[in-house]
Structure 1
Amino acid sequence: MANIRFYPIDITYVTEGEETKILLFGRTDKGEQIAVKDSFEPYFYVLPDRGFNPETIQKTIVEGNRIFKIKKMNEEVRSYMGNKVGVYRVVVNHPSAVPLFRSLFLSDETVKNVFEADILFTRRYLIDTKLAMMTLYEVEGEEEASHLKVPVFKARKMTQISSDLFQGVRALAVDIETYNPGGRYSSSDKDPIIMLAVYGTGYQKIVTWKRFKTDKNIEFVNSEAELIQKFQEYVEEYKPDVIIGYFSDRFDLPYIKKRAEKYKLKLDLGLNHTGIQLSRGYSSDVRIIGICHLDIYQFIFNTMRVTMKTDTYDLSSVSAEILGEEKHDVNIANLGEIWDNSPDKLEDFCMYNLQDARMTYLLFGKLFANMAEMVNILGLSLYDVTRMSFSNLVEWYLIGQAKERNVIVPNKPNSEELNARMNREPFIGAMVLEPEPGLYKDIAVFDFRSLYPSIIASHNIGPDTLNCDCCPDADNVPEHNFHFCKNKKGFISSVIEDIIKRRSRIKEIMKKNYDDLLYARQYTLKTLLNSTYGYFGFYGSRWYSPESGESVTAYARHYVRTVVQAAKENGFKVIYGDTDSVFIQIPEGKTKQDALNFMHTVNSKLPGIIELEFEGYCPAGLFVFTKHGGGAKKKYALLTEDGKIKVVGFAFVRRDWSNVARETQRTVLEIILKEKDPKKAFNYVRDVIEKVKRHEIPVKDVVISTQLRRGVSSYEQYGPHVAVAQRMSARGIMVGPGSMIRYVIVKGNEKIRDRARLVDEVSQDDYDPVYYVNNQVIPAVEQILNIVGYGRDDLLEDKDQSKLESFF
């Protein structure tokens, strides 16, 4: 008998005879890589109908040389959709037995349904045992003989020693560069990997197979095959817990795998001597058994993009925002030509390759706290949580909570149910009040704290409480003819209420003692809270309930209307309202304290945990007209009390406008709101227009970026970005849905789309100043300047006018 302490990091299972064992890979508290084997039995639930007899059920299924068995069936009472039900817990000998016996039970007319047969075995283990990945465990057991690359301990008992997350994760970033003749997209079928870089703590390597003179630490090998073998050597030398990449699920690792297969290289990176494993289906996730593979792109796109300013998720844009570090760029489209003809210029590309690996590594370091807290809160593995969408995060948190609360997990919808859900009319969303355009002083902004989650908790909203029989006299949801139970707390509403309280406690602690892990924890909880409303209406949801989703927005509209009406009755002017917020103007004779007193009065009348909060005081704000004359919704700029400009909906926060348009708009807003000088703003725009006319604006500032929404060939009518995408395709550059197309409009008399060019095709004097003045600069500021009395004609004519300076 031996005792070891280790941090579990990766999880899989192995088959031993007719049985299955869980295999946990991790690192000991002394820094050694190990695997721990644990016992666990797969199972699912059967909901019986009349006449069901467990004794008559077939207990064995033989497929080829494999025997699948029902080991036991235990009767249990659990909750399903708010009702107590008797079910059988069916334990089998192997995960592959679950779908076989599921089909067997469903074919039995004495069985109503089968539940939880689609929960992955490793996730089932983590949920049931509550084993917290990446925390310290003491294992009692003994080492056993094994073919694995690391020692294996057979566990008799595992005890958590500390709930602190492992901070010593050893990560290795990898990035490849591939041959791309003519700048076209590389194909793993025919184009070799020509450079590979890895980056870790105190460890960095670049390898290529074309020699050139350099004083950099670059390794040279004789072939692509040797380069791939070098990669395996690096992994075995560094011994990472985690291999990280950027877009590595869909590019780097599948590419390496394909090229290794070409040379019949084993490339057994896995700690069980297996290679790079690609998942089946749409997701294309990549696994390396025993070493957790993380694709930073997946994590950012799936769970962080809503909080990011950029709408382009390439490594350069993401690094600039998260790390504050710009990439030293090279023209990667020229790599193939330089590889063939100018090897003396390859050094820059090698350093670019290493830079990509380094930035990927730094991003992992920056984001690790968020990833680790998702592991902590969801109770799943690092590999799984970093690939989950918002709906997946909610669903798996609910599945974990269902186990704790003795609740049966509903099944996923079948294809017929999916089609019906997808064809259902979407429910009415939030209320957005049309603002009265203008400049305003003394604005108080209020918003409801976590409004949608608070409504779910306060009104007991969920599929298991909908139209209950126990309280038929309950008030209906506003605008609807259904209600939710008042007597019995529902599963989802109770889970949401617990999360709200938990997050509030964390935020209180953070006020006294800020901590990065605590911030990541509350951020993860916030993500779960804000995603639950959408999960009700998500067509793939297990707890699908469009009535619940409709009720959340109906109550939200009701409470916003309530605040708007109360504000008017208390002598405030309501400027704007949007989803969960209300903007009011404090009139002369009233103070900010009066606005706060109004808020307290409103809160005294709100139910449950629904609460209106003071978001802030703004000395000035600007709301603009639409093109058709009304007030523009979701488009405003506010000057905050600390002198910052908060902007919603304007061009300078969007990438599909040129830099010159965005920068002009930003500056105009600052001059009007901060300096209170409309005339100066007007003159500034006039100066920009003159610079555009004289071609004094750099080409980089007239580049327009637009994302392709569909494949290039699927557009019947198309704009300049599609025309440029066609030019790119003609040059062999692969583009498709999601590609960001960067282009410049040049001078000429043709249609605009026929004058769109790739950036590298344009020089300083080529861009069309008339287009940029009329279609970029003026549209970016026209609505703003209209508010202070200047129009398009004023910008294009030499006039000296007196406008709304009197506002200030």
Structure 2
Amino acid sequence: MMEFQIIDADYTLDDGKPVVRLFGRNPDGQSVCCFVPDFEPYFHVQAASIEGLLEDIKEIPEIKRTEIVEKYEPIGYQEHPTTMVKVVVGKPKDVPAIRDEVKRRADRIYETDIMFKNRFMIDRGISGMGWVRTGDEVVILQHGVNSDVVVTSQVSPVEVTKNAPLRYLAFDIECLVDVGMPTPDRSPIIMISLAFRPAYTGETLVLVAKKVEGDGIESFDDETGMLNRFFEIVRDYDPDVILGYNSNEFDFPYITRRVEVLEEQGKKLRADIGRDGRTVFCRKIGNTTRVNVTGRIVADALPLIRREYSIKQYTLKNVAQTLLNIDKFDVSVQQMAEYWNDDGEKLAEFIEYARRDAVLALHLMLDLRLLDKYVALAQVSGALLQDVLDGGQSSMVENLLLREFGKRDRVIPPKPDHGGRYNAPDELKGGAVLEPVRGLLKDAVVLDYKSLYPTIMMAHNLCYSTVIIDSETRVPGVIRAPSGGEFVPAEVYHGIVPGILENLLNRRTETKKMMRSADGEEYRVLNATQNALKILLNSFYGYSGYARARLYSLVLANAVTSFGRK
């Protein structure tokens, strides 16, 4: 039996069957990979004729079996559940493969776009950056995973306040430029600086693609040897968090492309730095780049600082001076060739300049505790930390809703392709905005209503599960919003969202009480937790009026703001 903190999750296939892999670290500092078998992918289907549906889909080869279940539809107060079919398939990829085929033979399909790893964590009550306990473990010898401890076992959630002793690796690259800005097709990487917490062979190291001597330096004959050493260090040090400054937009994509260029030239590189033996995966989404390294967290300090601090310039030099009061020596892009070709003082300065970049990125991330809030958001919402860093608040709200809807036997629809999904008023009317009085006023009073919209939702039992959508529904004590929406009172059916909000509010109150007697690391963890609870508390109203949400209900959103205006 062993406990460990979950850093990442995915799945693999064993003899054609999906097996969940949980990556983490235990209290002794060992990296862990736990294979969890016997969890099957599934989704729900609603049809006018269950018998007809079962007959229509019985020949679909991907379907392993079907089960008749009683479930409540996503939106609206319902006195009785609806008979639906739970469709169990063999592999996670079978769900999207047969989704459209099943949809053509049914009225509605539900939960067909939930990633398999998330489905597992939701159903098992497991959270990103949460702790789990294994059962009867079986040590795996042949697994292809880069972790200290590799086992197969079922797991269950366990409450642990502190974080595991995580490993952090910060890095930065320098490129040789002839003219203009570096491009990976023609500008080689000449240095890679690294900073470690805790230390590796030392606290810092600079890899240099030319022969040079010095403390904290390793030199190589060429770029290929230097890159291979970088990948080797990542595998050997086995960090939980790989970070940099603007690393998602520059360093990671640049390294990935340079590997491709060098391999096209016949060079041999082993770039597998994921804990599963895979390479870095970079994907451009709009104006941002998502970077994935399986089993590890990829954190870019620049966007995190942009979210938390308003400063004039977000260059590393200015950020370090403003937030850390640390000066940074700079070498301009135009000077780099001159410094690189010098074998004396300028080259030494260039190497220290590179080293400083990695050190500053590490200090920014850890000294400013940039990850604390996101770790707490993962633990509270249940989402994986990488998803919290990369995504918005809607994904965290949906994670909470999926968990609570499941407990109430209520299904959730897929995300809509276009716009909303349910009949509702055409527009969302916001809160009351009073015309300001012009001029200079004295003795102004500021009134900030604590958690106004969450309080309204709790007080009036406003929820997707309590809104009356059937005009024939007759219940005592109907709550009528000024906007026109009608909801059943808590005495008839306690809404799912009000229940979630009450739980978050109670947890925040209890957490703030615990902070009074806490200090050090425990205080910081608790403070991050209460902040995360506050963020999630204030996210549910906005989600209800978000047209791209799974649960889009303008009746609910308008009811909240109309009570607020009243």
Q: TM-score range by the shorter chain?
A: 0.7 to 0.9
| Deviation for aligned residue 1:429 | 4.1
1:546 counterpart residue number = 554
Q: Does 1:85 align with 2:78?
A: no
* Equivalent AA in structure 1 for residue 103 of structure 2: L
* Equivalent AA in structure 2 for residue 41 of structure 1: E
| Deviation for aligned residue 1:41 | 1.0
Q: What root-mean-square deviation, in Å, do the aligned CA atoms of Structure 1 and Structure 2 show?
A: 3.1
Evaluate the alpha carbon distance shift between residue 327 and residue 115 of structure 1 in structure 2; reply closer, same or farther with a 3 A threshold.
farther
Q: Tell me the distance in 1 between the aligned counterparts of 2:547 and 2:296.
A: 34
Q: Does 1:242 align with 2:241?
A: yes
Asked if the contact 2:130–2:157 (Cα under 8 Å) also holds between the matched residues in 1, the reply is no
2:176 counterpart residue number = 179
For 1:564-575, list aligned pairs within 5 A: none
2:496 counterpart residue number = 491
For 1:325-724, list aligned pairs within 5 A: 325-339=325-339, 344-365=345-366, 366-415=369-418, 417=420, 427-438=429-440, 440-441=442-443, 443-468=444-469, 469-470=473-474, 474=478, 476-478=480-482, 480-486=483-489, 487-511=492-516, 513=518, 515-558=523-566
Deviation track 1:327-372 (CA, whole Å, cap 9, x = no partner) reads 5151533344435665653444433332232232233331343232
| Deviation for aligned residue 1:258 | 1.1
2:9 counterpart residue number = 11
Structure 2 gap segments, 5+ residues each: 264-268
| Deviation for aligned residue 1:529 | 1.7
User: Aligned with 2:324: secondary structure?
Assistant: coil
Q: Which shows bigger deviation, 338-347 or 521-530? A: 338-347
* Equivalent AA in structure 2 for residue 460 of structure 1: N
2:206 counterpart residue number = 206
| Deviation for aligned residue 1:267 | 0.8
1:275 counterpart residue number = 279
2:21 counterpart residue number = 23
Evaluate the alpha carbon distance shift between residue 476 and residue 136 of structure 1 in structure 2; reply closer, same or farther with a 3 A threshold.
closer
| Deviation for aligned residue 1:127 | 1.0
Asked if the contact 1:412–1:541 (Cα under 8 Å) also holds between the matched residues in 2, the reply is yes
User: Aligned with 2:551: secondary structure?
Assistant: coil
Q: Tell me the distance in 2 between the aligned counterparts of 1:312 and 1:89.
A: 54
Evaluate the alpha carbon distance shift between residue 271 and residue 75 of structure 1 in structure 2; reply closer, same or farther with a 3 A threshold.
same
Deviation track 1:597-637 (CA, whole Å, cap 9, x = no partner) reads xxxxxxxxxxxxxxxxxxxxxxxxxxxxxxxxxxxxxxxxx
Evaluate the alpha carbon distance shift between residue 116 and residue 311 of structure 1 in structure 2; reply closer, same or farther with a 3 A threshold.
farther
Q: Tell me the distance in 1 between the aligned counterparts of 2:207 and 2:158.
A: 42
Evaluate the alpha carbon distance shift between residue 141 and residue 337 of structure 1 in structure 2; reply closer, same or farther with a 3 A threshold.
closer
User: Aligned with 1:219: secondary structure?
Assistant: strand
User: Aligned with 2:136: secondary structure?
Assistant: strand
Evaluate the alpha carbon distance shift between residue 15 and residue 370 of structure 1 in structure 2; reply closer, same or farther with a 3 A threshold.
same
2:266 counterpart residue number = none
Evaluate the alpha carbon distance shift between residue 43 and residue 279 of structure 1 in structure 2; reply closer, same or farther with a 3 A threshold.
farther
Q: Tell me the distance in 1 between the aligned counterparts of 2:86 and 2:413.
A: 15
Bigger radius of gyration among the two: 1
For 1:89-168, list aligned pairs within 5 A: 89-108=86-105, 111-132=106-127, 133-135=129-131, 137-144=133-140, 145-150=142-147, 153-160=150-157, 162-168=159-165
| Deviation for aligned residue 1:533 | 2.3
| Deviation for aligned residue 1:381 | 2.2
Evaluate the alpha carbon distance shift between residue 26 and residue 475 of structure 1 in structure 2; reply closer, same or farther with a 3 A threshold.
closer
1:574 counterpart residue number = none
Evaluate the alpha carbon distance shift between residue 481 and residue 416 of structure 1 in structure 2; reply closer, same or farther with a 3 A threshold.
closer
Q: Tell me the distance in 1 between the aligned counterparts of 2:410 and 2:139.
A: 38
1:36 counterpart residue number = 34
Q: Tell me the distance in 1 between the aligned counterparts of 2:156 and 2:415.
A: 34
* Equivalent AA in structure 2 for residue 118 of structure 1: D
Deviation track 1:27-72 (CA, whole Å, cap 9, x = no partner) reads 344433332111111111111223544542445656xxxxx33234
Asked if the contact 2:231–2:270 (Cα under 8 Å) also holds between the matched residues in 1, the reply is no
Q: Tell me the distance in 2 between the aligned counterparts of 1:5 and 1:542.
A: 34
* Equivalent AA in structure 1 for residue 499 of structure 2: S
| Deviation for aligned residue 1:449 | 0.7
Asked if the contact 1:299–1:387 (Cα under 8 Å) also holds between the matched residues in 2, the reply is no
Evaluate the alpha carbon distance shift between residue 45 and residue 500 of structure 1 in structure 2; reply closer, same or farther with a 3 A threshold.
same
Q: Tell me the distance in 2 between the aligned counterparts of 1:319 and 1:52.
A: 66
Asked if the contact 2:35–2:153 (Cα under 8 Å) also holds between the matched residues in 1, the reply is no
Q: How many residues align?
A: 538
Q: Tell me the distance in 2 between the aligned counterparts of 1:431 and 1:546.
A: 20
| Deviation for aligned residue 1:451 | 1.2
Asked if the contact 1:209–1:227 (Cα under 8 Å) also holds between the matched residues in 2, the reply is yes
* Equivalent AA in structure 2 for residue 330 of structure 1: D
Asked if the contact 1:77–1:85 (Cα under 8 Å) also holds between the matched residues in 2, the reply is yes
Structure 1-normalised TM-score?
Answer: 0.61
Evaluate the alpha carbon distance shift between residue 292 and residue 445 of structure 1 in structure 2; reply closer, same or farther with a 3 A threshold.
closer
For 1:58-77, list aligned pairs within 5 A: 58-59=57-58, 68-77=62-71
* Equivalent AA in structure 1 for residue 34 of structure 2: V
Deviation track 1:135-168 (CA, whole Å, cap 9, x = no partner) reads 2523422123323334674534434555234330
1:584 counterpart residue number = none
* Equivalent AA in structure 2 for residue 86 of structure 1: T
Evaluate the alpha carbon distance shift between residue 151 and residue 352 of structure 1 in structure 2; reply closer, same or farther with a 3 A threshold.
closer
| Deviation for aligned residue 1:374 | 1.9
1:592 counterpart residue number = none
Evaluate the alpha carbon distance shift between residue 243 and residue 340 of structure 1 in structure 2; reply closer, same or farther with a 3 A threshold.
closer
Q: Tell me the distance in 2 between the aligned counterparts of 1:131 and 1:434.
A: 49
Q: Tell me the distance in 2 between the aligned counterparts of 1:341 and 1:4.
A: 53
Asked if the contact 1:54–1:73 (Cα under 8 Å) also holds between the matched residues in 2, the reply is no
Structure 2-normalised TM-score?
Answer: 0.85
Asked if the contact 2:70–2:83 (Cα under 8 Å) also holds between the matched residues in 1, the reply is yes
Evaluate the alpha carbon distance shift between residue 139 and residue 199 of structure 1 in structure 2; reply closer, same or farther with a 3 A threshold.
farther
User: Aligned with 2:249: secondary structure?
Assistant: coil
Q: Tell me the distance in 1 between the aligned counterparts of 2:27 and 2:164.
A: 11
* Equivalent AA in structure 1 for residue 281 of structure 2: Q
Q: Tell me the distance in 1 between the aligned counterparts of 2:401 and 2:459.
A: 18
Evaluate the alpha carbon distance shift between residue 156 and residue 224 of structure 1 in structure 2; reply closer, same or farther with a 3 A threshold.
closer
Q: Tell me the distance in 2 between the aligned counterparts of 1:280 and 1:93.
A: 31
Q: Tell me the distance in 2 between the aligned counterparts of 1:268 and 1:164.
A: 33
Deviation track 1:642-668 (CA, whole Å, cap 9, x = no partner) reads xxxxxxxxxxxxxxxxxxxxxxxxxxx
Asked if the contact 1:471–1:485 (Cα under 8 Å) also holds between the matched residues in 2, the reply is yes
* Equivalent AA in structure 2 for residue 357 of structure 1: A
* Equivalent AA in structure 1 for residue 10 of structure 2: T
2:297 to 274, 277, 292: 292
Asked if the contact 1:148–1:272 (Cα under 8 Å) also holds between the matched residues in 2, the reply is yes
Q: Tell me the distance in 2 between the aligned counterparts of 1:375 and 1:508.
A: 21
* Equivalent AA in structure 1 for residue 561 of structure 2: T
Q: Greater relative contact order: 1 or 2 (C-alpha under 8 angstroms, separation 6 or more)?
A: 2
